[in-house]
Structures are given as structure tokens and as C-alpha cells.
Amino acid sequence: MDRFLLMTCFVRAVETGSFSAAGRDLGLGQPNVSRHVAALEDYLQTRLLHRSTRKLALTPEGERYYAEVRRILDAVDESESSLRDNLAPSGLLRVACPTALAHKFLLPEIPGFLKRYPALALDLQINDRYVNLVDEGAELAIRIGHLEDSALKARRIGMFERVCVASKAYVTQHGIPLTPDDLREHDCVIYTLLSSGATWRFRDTEVSVTGRFRVNSPDAVRDSVAAGLGIGYGPRWLFEDDLESSCLQILLSEYAAPHVPVQLVYVANRLLPRRASVFMDFVTEVFTRIPALNSTLR
């Protein structure tokens, strides 16, 4: 019995959420993965997974075993990497990144990264929801904001300012808010995936805003604010082109909140494979040269 194979199948089933997805990922097929996980449970004489038609769920014993096996597989991967891939990291690297940040800054650099490391493959997961690195199998995530999860470690790769903006047409019709509290009387475009919800942060205060238009895309926030649908709030770099063309103007600049960090995060108790380390070094090198991600208060 190849226990290493059984453990690998179990871990990928947990991280992908199904035997079918794990089978595709490992090139083994769903029946084999299901059979290998069942064999592992028989060997351990313990149920590791609850199976249903919709998803897999870890049992309490499975949760403890997953954490230990994940560390074992990471240690093996790191050992092999140090011997075999010291100069040429290889394998599949999974990285999660917010949508606007990926399109604006990361995607243009990916060709250079893949050219530098030809034996490495990259699975870039672009979305604006919170990605659980343990449950979803990503080794790294680029996140905006301060780290609050003690199970993670972070490397800061940038800083930017958040701004409040509106089109000239909007302020001509509705006036300019003079304080953050004045936003309560205005139509605000609300980005529904903002971690603070419909609460906008300013220096020394937070304001709950309302508006007739809500959207889950940062680019849609920018476009709708430029179209005069309301006041927007977000990273300055998201609105930079429209600010330079004077399509938009910054509001409440004297109340600007402290700058926001951009961070690469990873699970604290895992050994990072070399492919993850070189990606972190590459992105840090690139992002430190981008003025919009190394801004100072203006």
C-alpha cells in the first residue's frame, strides 16, 4: 500500500472539495481517488470525511489528520525542492488575487515570471471573495488590508491610499460633501465585497453610506461613478486614469484614512515550497517599482 499516494489523494480531495476535482488534479480519475481515500480510512480505522452528493466535509478526526498530513506533504515537497529545484523551481503554484489588483498590476508581469521559471506552472485564482488557504489549496494569496488571521503570515508588498471620488456632473447637481458625515445625504455607489461593507473609513471616523446602486466589481464601481451614478470609494489607483483626465475629482482629501497595505499571505505552520518563495520574491521586486503601490500621502 502506497500510503504517500493515499495521503495525497486525501489532501487534494479536501482542498478541491470533491473526489472528481481531486482526480482531475492528480490525473487519477474520480473512482481511484475515492478508492484510495477509503483505503486510507480502512487503514486508520477512522472516518475522515463525510460524503454527500454536494460536497465533502471533514470529520473532527479528519480535521486533525489533515493538518498533520498537510505538514508532512509540505515537508516532503520542501526537501525535494531543496535538492532538485534549487536553481529551477517546478510544480504547480496556486495563488489567489483580488480582481482589480490582478488586472491592473499582476497579470502584466506574469509572462516575465513564467519566462524566468520555465519548469513552473501557475494557477492564478482571480476573485474578490475571501479565499481560505487551508481549505482551498492555494499556497499564497495577495490581500488588501491588515492581517487579522493568526494562522497566517504575511509579507508586505505595497501600500496605497483610498480616496472618495465623484464626477463633475454629480457634484454640480448634488453638491460637494464637506465632511464624511455629509455622505449620509448623498447617493453612494457601494462595492458589496468591501470587507467593511457599506461603511467607509476616514481619518478618525467611519461612515455608513447608502445608495441606489450596489455592485460586486471594482471596475464597475469606477465606471458607474464616472457615469455620474454617485460617489465612489476605493484605491486611488483604481480611479487614476479618470482623475488624470479630470473626469473624476477627489472629495474629502483632508479626511483621508491611513494608507492600506497590500500583502502576500501564506499559512504560518506550512513549509513554503521553493516555487512559492520565488513567486513572493518576484512579486515583491515588481510591486516595489510601481508608484501607485508605494504611495505617500499627497
Q: Does CATH place domain 162-255 in 3.40.190.10?
A: yes
CA distance 16 to 21: 6
The CATH number of 3-83 is 1.10.10.10
State phi, psi for 65 to the nearest 5 degrees: -70, -40
**Identical fold, 85-158+260-293 and 162-255:** yes
**pLDDT band, very low/low/confident/very high, at 241 (cuts 50, 70, 90):** very high
The CATH class of the 85-158+260-293 domain is alpha beta
Domain ranges across the chain: 3-83, 85-158+260-293, 162-255
* Minimum mean pLDDT range among 36-40, 62-66, 73-77, 263-267: 73-77
As a whole number, the mean pLDDT across the chain is 88
CA distance 228 to 177: 15
Full strand arrangement of the beta sheet holding 248-251: 232-235, 162-167, 248-251
Which of 56, 43, 45 is CA-nearest to residue 12? 56
Name the 3-class secondary structure at 91. strand
- 149 versus 99: the higher-pLDDT residue is 99
DSSP state of 93: E
**pTM reported for the whole predicted model:** 0.69
Summarize pLDDT for 165-218 with one digit per residue, the tens.
Answer: 999 999 999 999 999 999 999 999 999 988 778 999 999 899 999 999 999 999
CA distance 121 to 24: 16
**pLDDT band, very low/low/confident/very high, at 82 (cuts 50, 70, 90):** low
Question: Are 149 and 268 within 8 A, CB to CB?
Answer: no
CA distance 4 to 43: 13
State phi, psi for 144 to the nearest 5 degrees: -100, 130
What pLDDT is stored for residue 296 in this prediction? 57
Residue 223 identity: D
Q: How are beta strands 140-144 and 260-267 bridged, if at all?
A: antiparallel
